[in-house]
Amino acid sequence: MACVSGTETAQFSAVVVVGLLVFFYGGTFLISTRIGKKDENADGYMTGGNNIGFGISAASMTATWIWAASMYASATSGYTYGISGPIHYGLWGALMILFIYPFGKRIRSVAPKAHTLAEVMYARHGRSSQLMLAGSNIVGSLISLMSNFIAGGVLISLLSPFNFTQGVFAVAAGVLLYTLWSGFRASVLTDFVQVVAMLGAVAVIVPFIFFAAGFPAAFETGAENLTPQQGSFFSSEAFMGQGAPYIAAVLAYAIGNQTIAQRLFAVRQNLIKPTFVTATVGYGAMVIGVGMLGVLALYLGFEPTGGDMNNLIPEMASTYLPPVLLALFFIMIIGALSSTADSDLAALSSIMMADVYGQNVAGAKKANPRTMLLVGRVTMVVATAAAVAFASLQLSILDLLVFVGALWGALVFPVLASFYWEKVTNRAFTVSVLAALAVFLPVRFAWIPVDGVFGIVVDVLSVLGIGVVLGLMVFGFFGTRAAKTVGVLAVVISAPFAIGSLHEYATLCGSLVAYSVSTVICWAMSVRRRDGFDFALIAQRTGDFDDGAATGPVATGATGDGVPHQAGGTGSDDTPEPATTH
């Protein structure tokens, strides 16, 4: 076990760890049983009835965005890049929550009763777009679930006699225990308790570790452990290696992630803005604060066991915290990872319920709400088992986060354009996303040497990606004209500096080319279309599955792209009409 200045790390006994786990997961399970219903409602299981209030929604959004991986990755960024690392991680992540709300207001206005973004893509385009978005979310949520189980396994193995595998099983069983019964409602209500506990713990634990480690003297005596880049608040290495890739990745997380979309569809429509603004502040304060522990470790010359960055925070805590605060730290991390893991399970269950079973297996007209509930609960069990199996790989959490964000970058423009631009077609959506992925993978993993002509091509596409990312950020708040102006200026200003050298940053380029390729192709394939889509149809084609007298959503014909739609929560059985195509 690691030590600093002769201070050995502390551990709990098996009895204490079991007691803490029983206290935390037993309490959350009791909360979930109090909100569960004997005759469960499929729509409530997925979105809580689209009517959740401000306090619960803001806490749930904060807790979902703050996960153990966020804390671990922020500290890793601080340890790797120095004093600006946690800022680049936490600040941009916080701002991305803020950037969600203008897009979220538009999404809810055209699909007020939807359950998943993929379900809306089915109503807007058709099956291929729906399944692409649903499939990306299944992959992303499984990776997220695995990351949180890894964090839990590392924590328990470092602070107790239990090994990593036993820790993973304990966390997985605890999360599944309370989420399985009431689905999304269990997730959001337990999030409220968890985020209050996390905020309180961070406010106490982070300052205590700093002073226990000799702050502020440690920052004077340990300055020699830093490189000039690590010691600079305006480090170009930190920006290019962490800040810039994370700006692009988190925007993609915000738009493509079902855990975020689920809360968007659940909160009362008039509370979207205050919910996401509050979550922005909560996330930034907590994640930057915990990330500073990585900076402290860098100054102290602290080396995590085996060089594994996943060990950094648990070992810092076990080295400097007394038993009572170490127990509080344990609960904080367990709460952080559980709040996101239950969100991933709820997201996966809603995708399988609404998108796979509700639309593609049973069909909208024949979907049985009771069967949907069974599908959702079975999905949670299977997803938990799969994530436990994958967690044994113990992959880098920070790398996983950036990879998934970049992967979703291929979807951002086609998804957003589908809510604003009536000319986007199903074919344009599908081709642009597949082409972006085809370019992203070889660039991200250096399957093809990025020197010479190919390097210049990657640089040009990346520069276009910079314009797309900044343009989309501005578009949500200020509209099309401002977005075009900022996008063009970003390309013109960055091109002289980026072309010829940007391809050296594979992580950043992979994300940027995914944005640029999907944007250019989607626009080129859609701009010449003469007829447009009627956005009012989306609200008609999405709605409640479990609607009292109705046994499920009802197919009522098709227009536009020939997509059948379900009842919009009216409980009526409309007569199906033959589908039409262009």
Q: Are 206 and 290 in contact (CB under 8 A)?
A: yes
Q: How confident is residue 216, by pLDDT bands cut at 50, 70 and 90?
A: confident
Q: What is the pTM of this model?
A: 0.79
Phi, psi of 539 (to 5 degrees): -65, -35
The closest of 536, 537, 62, 528 to 284, measured between CA atoms, is 62
Q: How confident is residue 20, by pLDDT bands cut at 50, 70 and 90?
A: very high
Q: What digits encode the pLDDT tens for the residues 265-323?
A: 888 888 888 988 898 888 888 889 888 999 999 999 888 887 888 788 888 888 899 99
Comparing 16-20, 144-148, 355-359, the range with the smallest average pLDDT is: 355-359
Higher pLDDT, 395 or 155: 155
* Portion of the chain with pLDDT greater than 90, in percent: 23
pLDDT of residue 424: 93
Task: Please name the residues in contact with 19: beta carbons below 8 A apart, sequence gap of 6 or more.
Answer: none
Q: Annotate 1-16 with b (16+ C-beta within 10 A) or e (fewer).
A: ebebeeeebbbbeeeb
Q: Annotate 220-243 with b (16+ C-beta within 10 A) or e (fewer).
A: eebeeebeeebbbeebebbbbbbb
Q: How confident is residue 550, by pLDDT bands cut at 50, 70 and 90?
A: very low
Scanning 183-311, the segments in alpha helix (DSSP H) are 184-212, 217-221, 236-238, 244-256, 258-266, 272-300
Q: Are 547 and 115 in contact (CB under 8 A)?
A: no
Q: How confident is residue 72, by pLDDT bands cut at 50, 70 and 90?
A: confident
Q: How confident is residue 554, by pLDDT bands cut at 50, 70 and 90?
A: very low
Rounded Cα distance between 144 and 249, Å, is 14
Average pLDDT over residues 110-116: 87
Q: How confident is residue 435, by pLDDT bands cut at 50, 70 and 90?
A: very high
Q: How confident is residue 4, by pLDDT bands cut at 50, 70 and 90?
A: very low
pLDDT of residue 558: 34
Q: How confident is residue 545, by pLDDT bands cut at 50, 70 and 90?
A: confident
Task: Tell me: pLDDT of 37 over 80.
Answer: no
Task: Tell me: pLDDT of 460 over 90.
Answer: yes
Rounded Cα distance between 340 and 62, Å, is 10
What value does the mean pLDDT of the chain take?
Answer: 81
Q: Which residue has the tokens 């907590």?
A: 286
The closest of 59, 29, 35, 64 to 48, measured between CA atoms, is 35
Q: How confident is residue 364, by pLDDT bands cut at 50, 70 and 90?
A: low
